């Protein structure tokens, strides 16, 4: 066999291998969807879609039981919005500083510190929130400490590595000619960065935001420890709340029959939320182009 035919054969095998990897990923997502929707949708219909999505009482042990998840939906939304409001500006400005303004010596310290945040287990974040953030909120802000505000602050810290890492990579990928051209037109260094470089990196920054939101809305262990886990609609950010993920984790261990199926249906709602968020950001990216 000639060398050319061997090369073509290797390319053919590698193409098949890459296709198999991609197909496996798609198959995994499809199987998850089949499991979630196959078990969750019938439970939604049995409970009643309106009662399930807009009911405010969660009492699976009552007779008859109540399966309203509106408090958990609102809890997930409130905490995710709070985390984004805290973590997004800090993360983006940190990425801008690291990519354009940070001295090399300081960069060697700050960059590994940010990357280290990504490797800390969720339960360690939860302990930190429980012994530092919760007492601080209770003593200096008000309430019992375990609240929407505490969970938002903790999640804002947890999403920083994702936002900083991807945003910095996106900013560094912008051609240097953008920055130099802005300087040549008389812009200051700061104006060149914020008016020319950062807008050119908006696609990557949007990807960082999507992943950060996904991390925030899907976090469980740390939220369980600092959010208060109260299945009721909150009146302020100092009230405790339970999220969709926390509800699943806390009750799946002993749930059975309809209760278990309703928890799977809660996963369907969470999956749908994340899908809608991704679709929304994708549509926004296309409009911004």
Burial of residue 187 (CB within 10 Å: 0-12, 13-18, 19+) is: middle
Q: Span 17-31, mean pLDDT?
A: 87
Distance from C-alpha of 192 to C-alpha of 199, rounded to nearest angstrom: 10
- In the chain, where do the E strands start and end? 58-59, 66-67
Q: What's the N-to-C CA distance of the chain in angstroms?
A: 50
Instruction: Report if residue 31 sits inside a domain.
Output: no
Tokens 């409001």: give the residue: 85
- Rounded-to-5 percentages of helix, strand, coil across the chain: 80, 0, 20
Instruction: Report if residue 161 sits inside a domain.
Output: yes
CATH code, 190: 1.10.3720.10
Q: Span 146-151, mean pLDDT?
A: 90
Instruction: Report if residue 26 sits inside a domain.
Output: no
- The parent domain of residue 264 ranges over 71-288
pLDDT at 67 over 90: no
Instruction: Report if residue 76 sits inside a domain.
Output: yes
Residues 6 or more apart whose CB falls under 8 angstroms from that of 200 comprise 174, 178
Predicted pLDDT of residue 289 = 61
pLDDT bracket for residue 152 (50, 70, 90): very high
- pLDDT, tens digit, 9 for 90 and up, residues 192-203: 888 888 888 888
Q: Yes or no: say if 213 and 280 are a contact pair by the CB < 8 Å rule.
A: no
pTM: 0.85
pLDDT at 164 over 90: yes
Predicted pLDDT of residue 154 = 93
Residue 53 in tokens: 């999505």
pLDDT at 1 over 80: no
- pLDDT, tens digit, 9 for 90 and up, residues 110-128: 899 988 888 888 889 999 9
With b for 16 or more beta-carbon neighbours within 10 A and e for fewer, the 111-150 pattern comes to: eeebeebeeeebeebbebbbeebbeebbeeeebebbbbbb
Q: Yes or no: say if 48 and 65 are a contact pair by the CB < 8 Å rule.
A: no
Instruction: Report if residue 223 sits inside a domain.
Output: yes
- Tell which wins on pLDDT, 12 or 269: 269
pLDDT at 175 over 80: yes
Predicted pLDDT of residue 133 = 92
Distance from C-alpha of 108 to C-alpha of 110, rounded to nearest angstrom: 6
How many structural domains is the chain composed of?
1
Q: What is the mean pLDDT of the chain?
A: 86
pLDDT bracket for residue 45 (50, 70, 90): confident
pLDDT bracket for residue 4 (50, 70, 90): low
Instruction: Report if residue 240 sits inside a domain.
Output: yes
pLDDT bracket for residue 2 (50, 70, 90): low
Predicted pLDDT of residue 288 = 62
Distance from C-alpha of 55 to C-alpha of 44, rounded to nearest angstrom: 12
Q: Span 212-240, mean pLDDT?
A: 86
Predicted pLDDT of residue 137 = 92
Instruction: Report if residue 50 sits inside a domain.
Output: no
Q: Span 209-231, mean pLDDT?
A: 85
- pLDDT, tens digit, 9 for 90 and up, residues 73-83: 998 999 999 99
Half-sphere exposure for 245 (CA within 13 Å, toward CB): 20
Instruction: Report if residue 79 sits inside a domain.
Output: yes
Distance from C-alpha of 138 to C-alpha of 129, rounded to nearest angstrom: 12
Q: Which of 157, 4, 174, 179 is nearest to 88 (CA)?
A: 157
Q: Span 174-187, mean pLDDT?
A: 86
pLDDT at 90 over 90: yes
Q: Span 258-281, mean pLDDT?
A: 85
């Amino acid at each position: 066999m000639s060398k050319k035919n061997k090369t073509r054969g290797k390319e053919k095998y590698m193409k098949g291998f890459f296709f198999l990897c991609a197909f496996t990923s798609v198959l995994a997502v499809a199987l998850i969807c089949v499991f979630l929707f196959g078990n969750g949708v019938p439970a939604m219909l049995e409970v009643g879609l309106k009662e399930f999505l807009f009911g405010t009482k969660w009492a699976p042990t009552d007779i008859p039981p109540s399966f309203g998840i509106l408090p958990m939906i609102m809890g997930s939304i409130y905490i995710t919005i709070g985390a984004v409001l805290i973590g997004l500006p800090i993360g983006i400005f940190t990425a801008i500083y690291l990519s354009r303004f940070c001295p090399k010596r300081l960069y060697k310290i700050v960059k590994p510190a940010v990357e280290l945040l990504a490797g800390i287990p969720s339960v360690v974040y939860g302990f930190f929130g429980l012994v530092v953030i919760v007492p601080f909120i209770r003593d200096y802000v008000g309430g019992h400490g375990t609240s929407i505000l505490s969970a938002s602050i903790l999640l804002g810290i947890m999403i920083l590595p994702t936002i900083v890492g991807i945003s910095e990579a996106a900013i560094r990928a912008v051609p240097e000619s953008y920055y130099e051209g802005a300087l040549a037109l008389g812009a200051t260094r700061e104006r060149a960065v914020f008016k020319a470089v950062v807008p050119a990196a908006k696609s990557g920054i949007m990807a960082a935001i999507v992943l950060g939101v996904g991390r925030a809305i899907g976090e469980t262990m740390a939220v369980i420890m600092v959010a208060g886990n109260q299945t009721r609609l909150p009146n302020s950010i100092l009230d405790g709340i339970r999220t969709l993920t926390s509800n699943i984790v806390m009750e799946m261990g002993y749930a059975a029959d309809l209760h278990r199926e309703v928890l799977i249906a809660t996963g369907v709602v969470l999956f749908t939320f994340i899908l809608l968020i991704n679709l929304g950001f994708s549509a926004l990216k296309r409009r911004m182009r």
